[in-house]
């Protein structure tokens, strides 16, 4: 399919604004040619205005409200990801995730600019420490596509430079002084928009800290710009194992042959690839769509890891679903898919409360002698509890905080929230 090249607005007698040379080059290409296997070309040909997008899809006209949204929450779209759209409207799953919608201006007072309180939990610039054993490093502020549901929507379009040497040294000092941190997550922006050399500088620095066991890379590159996953990149990543990759497919339409190839390259380089999806209204909030995506992920050896309830982010009220919808989807998946294919459905609590797993309720009743359970078919079964409870001396457990310590007897008193007097 050749994108149309019209000189006039549809249904209007006014000439179009002057087209940029970038848009003119894209107009001369077919949809298949928008998938050019050159990630630097993809980045240099990103669309960053709705007028440019309209020039390539003349049957679509953005509203003034959408243009206003794009000023508040900037827009960027790679030719590759654009090639996966049937049209830029909100009924297309790719368009709904990538193109500004007027509803983004509807601010619900229950939504937050920084819903996970990342900024107060940043003891060092660019480092977030919310959980005892892991930290997040924000390597840059650049993404190939600005997803409309981004958790860091407050930072979208602030394309800050990649972390410099002084900042990296600050991270290393913090990690060395905090040996409880075993797991370091590289994020951004998107860390894979860095050059191989810049990314390796960070990997080498993190790997120099003896207490760090695992490095994770959180990236949407396999989804938005899979040609960035080059053999050279994978060869470099393999030098710093164990390196895990957590990516973010949300819809079956994103699982193109190029996306599959990117995941395969990472796997063959020894990087396990996990997927965390976000439940989005009008995109994947249907059991059949979710099942199709999960089956496809399993076929390419990408493990479904999390299904996130949408965070409470300003500007995404139109994409949020009720938790009951997520429960309905999880109910439908159980029994239709093997356990490896079923992600953990989680809510990341606001105000830094952390992730809480959500499941359908399979326990109907409990007593000292029996637990009454139901299965995915609705069949009710009584599970007998052991009749004999020997007085066993269990070895002492580590203190973990929260309810785990209550159960182990470390802190037998009542739990009083820190905010209480």
Section 331-360 average pLDDT: 92
Q: Is pLDDT above 70 for 203?
A: yes
Between residues 398 and 18, which one has the greater pLDDT? 398
pLDDT at residue 121, as a whole number: 86
Q: Is pLDDT above 80 for 18?
A: no
Question: Which among 46, 96, 148, 152 is annotated as catalytic?
Answer: 152
Residue 152 annotated in active site: yes
Residue 216 annotated in active site: no
Question: Which among 72, 134, 176, 374 is annotated as catalytic?
Answer: 134
Question: Which among 114, 147, 263, 271 is annotated as catalytic?
Answer: 147
Section 85-94 average pLDDT: 95
Q: Residue 60 contacts by C-beta under 8 Å, 6 or more apart in sequence?
A: 53, 54, 87, 88, 89
pLDDT at residue 221, as a whole number: 98
Residue 134 annotated in active site: yes
Q: How far apart are CA 232 and CA 223, in angstroms?
A: 19
Q: Is pLDDT above 70 for 235?
A: yes
Residue 37 annotated in active site: no
Q: Tell me: the pLDDT tens digits for 298-327?
A: 999 999 999 999 988 888 999 999 999 999
Q: Is pLDDT above 60 for 6?
A: no
Ranking 40-44, 191-195, 336-340, 346-350 by mean pLDDT, the lowest is 346-350
DSSP line for 282-334: TTT-SHHHHHHHHHHHHHTTPEEEEEEPPP-BTT-GGG---HHHHHHHHHHHB
Of the candidates 167, 156, 223, 165, the residue with the CA atom closest to the CA atom of residue 192:
223
Question: Which among 51, 131, 196, 281 is annotated as catalytic?
Answer: 131
Residue 131 annotated in active site: yes
- The phi-psi region of residue 97 (left if phi > 0; otherwise alpha if psi is between -120 and 50; otherwise beta) is alpha
> Which band of pLDDT confidence, cut at 50, 70 and 90, is reported for residue 67?
very high
Q: Tell me: the pLDDT tens digits for 40-63?
A: 999 999 999 999 999 999 999 999
> Which band of pLDDT confidence, cut at 50, 70 and 90, is reported for residue 161?
low
Question: Which among 216, 306, 311, 345 is annotated as catalytic?
Answer: 311
Between residues 31 and 403, which one has the greater pLDDT? 31
DSSP H helical ranges for 74-148: 79-83, 93-98
Q: Is pLDDT above 70 for 17?
A: no
pLDDT at residue 351, as a whole number: 78
Question: Which among 46, 150, 263, 271 is annotated as catalytic?
Answer: 150
Residue 306 annotated in active site: no
Residue 133 annotated in active site: no
The overall longest dimension of the chain from CA atoms, in Å, is 87
Domains defined along the chain, listed by start:
21-105 (no CATH), 127-357 (3.20.20.70), 363-408 (no CATH)
Contact predicate 144/43, CB 8 Å? yes
- Whole-model pTM: value is 0.87
Residue 271 annotated in active site: no
Residue 96 annotated in active site: no
Residue 130 annotated in active site: yes
Question: Which among 143, 234, 271, 310 is annotated as catalytic?
Answer: 143
The average confidence (pLDDT) of the chain is: 89
């Amino acid at each position: 399919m050749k994108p149309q090249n019209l000189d006039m607005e549809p249904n209007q007698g006014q000439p179009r604004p002057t087209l940029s040379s970038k848009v003119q080059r894209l107009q001369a290409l077919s949809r298949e040619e928008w998938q050019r296997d050159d990630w630097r070309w993809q980045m240099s040909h990103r669309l960053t205005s709705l007028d440019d997008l309209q020039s390539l899809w003349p049957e679509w006209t953005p509203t003034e409200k959408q243009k206003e949204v794009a000023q508040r929450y900037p827009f960027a779209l790679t030719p590759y990801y654009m090639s996966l759209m049937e049209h830029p409207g909100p009924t297309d799953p790719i368009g709904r995730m990538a193109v500004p919608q007027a509803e983004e201006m509807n601010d619900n007072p229950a939504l937050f600019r920084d819903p996970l309180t990342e900024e107060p939990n940043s003891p060092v610039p660019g480092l977030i420490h919310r959980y005892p054993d892991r930290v997040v490093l924000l390597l840059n502020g650049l993404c190939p596509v600005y997803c409309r549901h981004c958790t860091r929507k407050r930072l979208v379009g602030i394309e800050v430079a990649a972390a410099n040497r002084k900042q990296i040294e600050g991270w290393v000092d913090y990690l060395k002084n905090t040996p409880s941190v075993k797991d370091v997550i590289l994020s951004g922006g998107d860390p894979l928009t860095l050059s191989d050399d810049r990314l390796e500088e960070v990997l080498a620095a993190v790997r120099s800290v003896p207490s760090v066991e695992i490095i994770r890379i959180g990236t949407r590159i396999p989804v938005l710009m899979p040609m960035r996953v080059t053999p050279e990149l994978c060869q470099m990543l393999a030098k710093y194992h164990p390196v895990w990759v957590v990516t973010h497919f949300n819809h079956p339409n994103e699982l193109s042959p190029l996306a599959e190839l990117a995941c395969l390259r990472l796997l063959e380089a020894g990087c396990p690839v996990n997927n965390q999806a976000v439940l989005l209204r009008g995109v994947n909030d249907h059991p059949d769509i979710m099942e199709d995506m999960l089956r496809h992920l399993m076929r390419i050896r990408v493990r479904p890891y999390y299904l996130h309830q949408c965070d409470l982010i300003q500007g995404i009220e139109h994409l949020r679903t009720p938790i009951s919808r997520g429960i309905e989807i999880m109910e439908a998946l159980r029994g239709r898919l093997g356990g490896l294919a079923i992600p953990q459905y989680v809510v990341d609590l606001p105000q830094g409360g952390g992730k809480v797993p959500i499941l359908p309720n399979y326990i109907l009743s409990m007593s000292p002698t029996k637990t009454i359970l139901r299965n995915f078919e609705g069949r009710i079964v009584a599970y007998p509890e052991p009749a004999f409870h020997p007085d066993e001396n269990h070895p002492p457990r580590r203190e973990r905080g929260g309810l785990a310590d209550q159960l182990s007897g470390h802190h037998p008193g009542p739990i009083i929230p820190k905010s209480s007097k």
